[in-house]
């Protein structure tokens, strides 16, 4: 079953028309009915709207009381340099036009307004804004690619070097089965090999996630049963780290299946549980709780580990960001788990929250609304 979540549909463009003449505001709303049109009667009212609403284009008169079009343009560009602004003016003052262009105006519309000019100018600026955004996205993607390639090289180098040195020592006769530290070296190589395999698996999965289509295949999923399955699969890792992993599943969840992509929700739960196990000290505990009320289903992953400092908490969902509590520079993984966990959950209509205090552990919450 293929289902496109409403969040993935292209949202309607929003335009803010600023003019002290109601007839102009009404004209803009009528001519530009394909857009979501907001109106303001001066620059000060427009500023208040822009603080609360995301607007694609501001269409403003130049001559207005309180705060005129040029003043509004300057204030907008100070706060949001990429905001598209079109000015409407009944004057052909070259000095005024030069000032507006220097301040970053995207285009002009002459008064009295020509309906055709209004619609074509707005369309042209939307296209220009789209191209500008695509160029910015390409630049950002290119930077991410460079960062990722550098990170891959660094992360793969450590285990590969350890394995290579061990094999080299055996080949040169330095290490042998009868040497005292041979078994210790074998154990280390086994650990590094397992880590290398995990890195490669992560790379394959992240590549698939990045290249996957926006349309998700959703199916009814019992979130409690799936969460329990993920927890069972991580019991060995928890025992290896000396951490007790407990699971409490509300039996009523079997009666409340959600339309989810099982692969993506599996990944999200695993990423959060894996982090909790990784950052909980020996002797600590991790608890996975799945519960539901009349409005939503929640998965809580709680640990009594080292916690997350406030300045780190705001960054943990960033791509490639990794917390390094020991300041060793040797944190394993690519720093993509939490980023994709939240992206995947959001793509299915849910949300991920993380709360923490240093020294008091972490509580991660996956939340999905129940279907009406």
DSSP state of 4: -
Which pair of structure tokens corresponds to residue 188? 């280390």
pLDDT exceeds 90 at position 366:
yes
Which pair of structure tokens corresponds to residue 281? 């000290």
Residues 338 and 316 sit within 8 Å (Cβ to Cβ): yes
Q: Tens of pLDDT along 284-308?
A: 999 999 998 888 999 999 998 888 8
The pLDDT of residue 320 is 62
User: DSSP of 171-237, one letter per residue?
Assistant: HTTSS-TTSTTHHHHHHHHHHHHHHHHHHHHHHHHHHHHHHS-SSEE-EEE-HHHHHHHHHHHTHHH
Q: Measured at the alpha carbon of residue 84, what is the angle toward residues 83 and 90, in degrees to the nearest 5?
A: 130
Residues 177 and 211 sit within 8 Å (Cβ to Cβ): no
pLDDT exceeds 70 at position 206:
no
Q: Tens of pLDDT along 304-331?
A: 888 887 777 777 877 766 665 454 444 5
Q: How far apart are CA 188 and CA 161, in angstroms?
A: 12
The pLDDT of residue 209 is 58
**Cross-strand bridge partners of residue 286:** 245, 303
The pLDDT of residue 254 is 83
Locus of tokens 């990722």: 148
The pLDDT of residue 328 is 42
The pLDDT of residue 101 is 79
The pLDDT of residue 327 is 47
The pLDDT of residue 6 is 42
User: What are the angstrom distances between the C-alpha of 273 and each of 227, 233, 250, 261, 286?
Assistant: 10, 11, 18, 18, 8
- Of 209, 357, 326, 349, which Cα lies nearest the Cα of 271? 209
The pLDDT of residue 156 is 73
Phi first, then psi: give them for residue 276, nearest 5 degrees: -60, -45
Q: Tens of pLDDT along 60-108?
A: 998 888 888 889 998 998 888 888 899 988 766 677 777 887 888 888 8
The lowest-confidence range among 12-26, 81-95, 315-329, 344-358 is: 315-329
């Amino acid at each position: 079953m293929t289902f496109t979540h409403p969040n993935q549909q292209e949202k309607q463009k929003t335009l803010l028309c600023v003019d002290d003449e109601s007839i102009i505001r009404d004209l803009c709303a009528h001519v530009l009915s394909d857009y979501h049109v907001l109106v303001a009667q001066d620059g000060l009212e427009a500023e208040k709207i822009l603080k609360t609403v995301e607007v694609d284009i501001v269409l403003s008169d130049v001559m207005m009381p309180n705060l005129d079009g040029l003043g509004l343009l300057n204030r907008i560009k100070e706060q949001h340099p990429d905001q598209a602004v079109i000015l409407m003016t009944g004057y052909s003052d070259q000095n005024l036009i030069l000032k507006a262009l220097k301040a970053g105006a995207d285009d002009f519309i002459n008064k009295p307004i020509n309906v055709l000019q209004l619609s074509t100018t707005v369309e042209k600026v939307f296209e220009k804004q789209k191209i500008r955004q695509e160029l910015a996205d390409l630049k950002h993607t290119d930077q991410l690619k460079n960062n990722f390639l550098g990170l891959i090289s660094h992360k793969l180098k450590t285990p590969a070097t350890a394995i290579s040195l061990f094999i080299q020592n055996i080949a040169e006769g330095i290490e042998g089965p009868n040497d005292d530290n041979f078994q210790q070296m074998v154990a280390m190589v086994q650990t590094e090999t397992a880590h290398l395999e995990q890195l490669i698996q992560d790379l394959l999965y992240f590549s698939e996630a990045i290249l996957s289509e926006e349309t998700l295949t959703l199916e009814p999923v019992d979130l409690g049963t799936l969460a329990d399955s993920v927890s069972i699969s991580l019991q060995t890792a928890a025992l290896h780290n000396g951490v007790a992993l407990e699971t409490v599943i509300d039996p009523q969840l079997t009666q409340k299946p959600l339309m989810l992509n099982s692969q993506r929700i599996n990944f999200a739960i695993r990423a959060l549980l894996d982090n909790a196990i990784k950052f909980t000290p020996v002797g600590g505990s991790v608890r996975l709780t799945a519960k539901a009320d009349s409005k939503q289903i929640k998965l809580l992953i709680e640990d009594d580990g080292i916690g997350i400092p406030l300045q780190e908490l705001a960054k943990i969902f960033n791509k490639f960001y990794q917390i390094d509590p020991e300041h060793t520079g040797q944190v394993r993984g690519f720093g993509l788990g939490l980023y994709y966990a939240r992206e995947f959950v959001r793509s299915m209509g849910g949300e991920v929250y993380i709360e923490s205090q240093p020294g008091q552990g972490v509580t991660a919450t996956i939340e999905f609304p129940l279907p009406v």
